[in-house]
Amino acid sequence: MSVAAKPARKIPVIWLVRVGVSAVVLALIFYFVPFKQVWATARALSPALWLAALALFLIGHAAAAAKWRLLIGPGIGFAAAFRAHLAGLAANLALPGVAGGDVVRAGLVMPQAHDKAQLAIGSVADRLLDTVGLLLIALVGAYVAWRPELGDPQALRLLMLAGVAAVIIGFAVAIPLDHALARRSGGKIFKLLARVVAVLADLARTPGLLLACLAISMAVQCLFILINVAFAQAAHVEAPTAAWFYAWSTAKIIAIAPISLGGLGVREASMAALMKPFGADPAQVVAIGLVWQTVLYASGLIGFLVQLRWPSPKLTKLEQVHEG
């Protein structure tokens, strides 16, 4: 009796689409931007600076892992959280979907979590706080870097006030709205909205933890921006430092959209366009963005190797099941 062969696992269509989008955007970038100039700028950055950037990037993510650990509840040690966080970095660069890394890191620590619901809520809260932090940094950076020739800054002031007010109001109404939604039922969209409101309400009930985690998130993002500023200074890019805080944060928010592979291409194109009004050369900005991407991929590789060397309890159990 013959054993039927297992069907080959198909590559997800969304992954192919994201690879295609990144390839197209990169092709367009190098169509409009001289590759020689991009390469010359990248070569101006020393290996020592790149290694220092990688080390600081990992230190920043150690702080980010500590922040995530505060949000997901007891039972998970820092070493396990950091290991899962590094694995999430690797997954973010390769997996399809907007939150592939978040799902991976939560899955890896799930066997140790005392409260599975808190793990899920805390992971979503971590993502929301990072996005809010990026938005606040972008608004402050734009306001500080704004120049008269770019137009009247009144609209920017109003946008800043609206952004801060939206954050405050969102958390203020989250608790009563959570109570109201808990008494109702609905479809998938309603359940998704209810989950987001529940996360906001949970954070609003612990304002000290909320502010501490938001402060850590913004500090980590500012560290990453300063690494890019160091790249820019080494490459003699002429642009205000505050402009980098605005452009880098905004480009990262844009790159969150699940249309490319880890934001590759989209982040660089967005940052070049956002920095141009402040006098930065697009080719140099693209070069710095691509060098930054190599730091991301190197950290992802480190996360993958760490997971291979010290697998999480969940992976070990899965391996035992397969071997049995």
Q: What is the rounded CA–CA span in Å between residue 308 and residue 53?
A: 24
* Residue 187 dihedral angles phi and psi, to the nearest 5°: -85, -160
* Residue 289 dihedral angles phi and psi, to the nearest 5°: -65, -40
Q: Which sequence spans correspond to the domains of the chain?
A: 36-310
Q: How would you write the pLDDT of the chain (324 residues) with one tens digit per residue?
A: 444 555 555 556 776 777 787 788 888 888 888 889 899 999 999 999 999 999 999 999 999 999 999 988 778 889 889 999 988 888 877 765 556 778 888 888 888 887 777 788 888 889 888 988 998 899 888 888 876 655 566 666 677 777 777 777 777 777 787 777 777 777 666 776 777 777 777 777 888 888 899 999 999 999 999 999 999 999 999 899 999 999 999 999 888 877 777 778 889 999 999 999 898 999 999 999 999 999 999 998 998 888 888 776 654 444 443 333
Q: What is the rounded CA–CA span in Å between residue 324 and residue 5?
A: 20
Asked whether 259 and 19 are in contact (CB, 8 A), the reply is no
Asked whether 177 and 190 are in contact (CB, 8 A), the reply is no
Longest dimension (CA), the chain: 81
Beta strand segments in the chain, E: none
Quick one: tokens of 129?
A: 């706080």
What letter does residue 256 receive in the DSSP assignment?
Answer: T
Asked whether 203 and 242 are in contact (CB, 8 A), the reply is no
